[in-house]
Amino acid sequence: MAEITASMVKELREMTGAGMMECKKALAEAEGNMDAAVDVLRTRGLAAVAKKAGRATNEGTVMAVVNDACTKGAVLELNCETDFVGMNEKFKAYATRIATAAMDNAPVDAEQLKGCTQDGETVEDILTDCIHVMGENCQIARVAEVEAPAVASYIHGGGKIGVLVNFAVEGIDPACAAFQTCARDVAMQVAAVNPVSATRESVPADVAAHELEIYKAQAAESGKPENIQEKIAQGRMEKFYKESCLSEQEFVKDSDMTVRQYVDGCAKEMGGKIEIQGFIRFALGE
């Protein structure tokens, strides 16, 4: 029996768009002959997949899901060929199933996700079925999941932007309606304003350093004394934090308060504490 190598499986998969396990089985049946393996896949009903593989997938949807306890979530970008399919409810249902598999299995990337199962089917099989039903090449572009004391999601524009926000909470049920209303507002803020980070402490060090260097260079052009230049640069850095850090941003639904002030007010009404820990934001095609 011919040896079936990982590179052979990869080559066949790239040629046909069929699943990894299906490619391996086809190669084994064809005793390592690549052309014969393609024919095997075609006879198994994967001809449509083979024909569509390689076609551009520039449209699609972003899907975010959260478990019933509101402690785990996943966000997924599933691509297809046309906006018509991307907005189709059947296509979104496939995206929901795949995102749920990601939430339940915590894969490290889209490739690992394909081997995960949902309701007894592998994600790879679900994706193949999606291609057959929708009649277009469909591919998982990226995926991310989070587990935290509290998680909320928001989808904007029918799937153009998907957001997950994770929180630390004390004395509050993350699944209660009051918390989810508050948390969804925060997720909407992320979708609308696209902050750099949740807090100034979580701004990546290289990003903060880059911004500060720019502000120092701008201040140097003023010709003012160095101590004044430093104050100018730090002042602009402060403005950057207030505009770019989620918790310090002006709340889009009430410009008289920051997001942190809004969250603190919600927490007070619920008799507990809420702290924004982080977020994930996917924009379609980004």
pLDDT value, residue 77: 97
pLDDT value, residue 132: 85
pLDDT value, residue 14: 73
pLDDT value, residue 73: 98
- Mean pLDDT (10-residue bins), the chain, 286 residues: 86 75 87 85 60 66 98 97 93 97 95 93 92 89 97 96 98 97 98 96 94 89 87 94 97 97 98 98 94
Structural domains of the chain in order of their starting residue, each with its CATH number = 6-52 (1.10.8.10), 57-147 (3.30.479.20)
The answer to whether residues 155 and 62 touch, using CB atoms and an 8 Å cutoff, is yes
Cα torsion angle, 83, 84, 87, 88, sign? negative
Any idea which residue has 């520039």 for tokens? Answer: 58
Cα torsion angle, 17, 19, 82, 113, sign? negative
Q: Which of 169, 131, 137 is nearest to 151 (CA)?
A: 169
What is the value of pTM for the model shown?
0.79
pLDDT value, residue 56: 56
pLDDT value, residue 286: 86
Tell me how far apart the alpha carbons of residues 266 and 30 are, in angstroms, rounded to a whole number.
63
Q: Which of 278, 280, 68, 271 is nearest to 168 (CA)?
A: 278
pLDDT value, residue 22: 81
Q: How far is CA 216 from CA 206, 207, 228, 235, 269, in A?
A: 15, 14, 11, 10, 43
pLDDT value, residue 241: 96
